[in-house]
Each structure stands twice: as C-alpha cells, then as structure tokens.
Structure 1
Amino acid sequence: MKIDPPAPSPTPLHRTPATGVAAPATGTEAVERPKEAAQASAHVHSMPAAVGGSDFNAARVAAIREDIRAGRYEIRPERIADGLLASVRDLLDPKGRE
C-alpha cells in the first residue's frame, strides 16, 4: 500500500493589482490580509441595506449557529432536493422566459 506524503500547509494568496496574478502573501502582508478581509466583509454586508432591503435574517442565522453547536441542526436531504428540482424547473420553464 502506497501512502502519499502530507500536502503542504495552505499559504494565503493575494492578487497584485498590476498583473492580476495570485501570489503568496508573506511577512506583514499575511498579517494585514485579515484586516482587509474584515473591511471587505463589512462593505458587502452593508450593500443589501443600501439598495433598499435585505433577505438576511440575523436572528435566524444565530439560531441555526446555536443549533449546529448544540448538535440539534437537522439536515433534510429531501427538502434540499425538492428545492433544487424546483429551481431547475423554474430555469427550464419556457413560460417564465420573455
């Protein structure tokens, strides 16, 4: 039986504006990336409010997180499958297209 060597640990990547090519972040760049990510995240979360509404329900998300932590969250594959099938039907429905 052959056992592969362990994969290398992930290295944070960032895009350079001039080339647009991803390169590993090193030194202080790696430390500063979480700050930029937090700012971007805050900006993204403020966007739905700026356009007049949001489908985000913070109380529901908090309840789901707590259920996951407590081991009470129940995944129902049949409900997921039904939702996916309904979505595909909507996409394929010629009546819905103009």
Structure 2
Amino acid sequence: MKIDPPAPSAPPLHRTPATGPAPSPAAAEAVERPKEAASASAHVHSLPTAVGRSDFDAARVAAIREDIRAGRYEIRPERIADGLLASVRDLLDPKGGA
C-alpha cells in the first residue's frame, strides 16, 4: 500500500479593510434584516399566548417521554401515513377544505 505525502497547506488569506465607497442601500438593508427577523420571531412566539390558547400539552409530552423510556411507546406507520395523506389532501383541495 502506497501512502502519498501530505499535501501542502494553503497559505492563510489576508484581508485588507475596505476603503472603497459607502455601502450600497442593499447592504444597509441586509444589516437591518436580523433586527427585523428578531422582531418578527418575537411576534410569532407571542401569538399563541395572545389568543389565549396553546398547542403544547406538557402533560402529554411527559406521558410520551415516560412511555419511550419504559419501552411502551408504539409507532404506527400506517397512522402516520394516513395523517400525512389527509394533510396533503386538505392542502390540495381546491374548495378550501369545506
């Protein structure tokens, strides 16, 4: 078995600070996007509590977690497939699901 000698490592990149023209409006907009995204994210996370309902059931999660630990949790692929197909049918229904 022949082993080739190691390849030489690439020289490090040296970047010089940009001294060109001012950033374009698109670049300035890109800097602002993270702030907008954070604001939108905070808004989305506040929605379930704003309407007074939450889709998260902590007791159900705890029960499932315990069933998994005890080896009692049963995965039923046909039930998962049926649910996925029903969801796709609802999305593709031209009548709007009603």
Give the TM-score, by structure 2 length: 0.49
Name the structure, 1 or 2, with higher relative contact order (CA <8 Å, separation 6+).
Answer: 1
Give the TM-score, by structure 1 length: 0.49
Structure 1 or 2: larger strand share?
Answer: 1
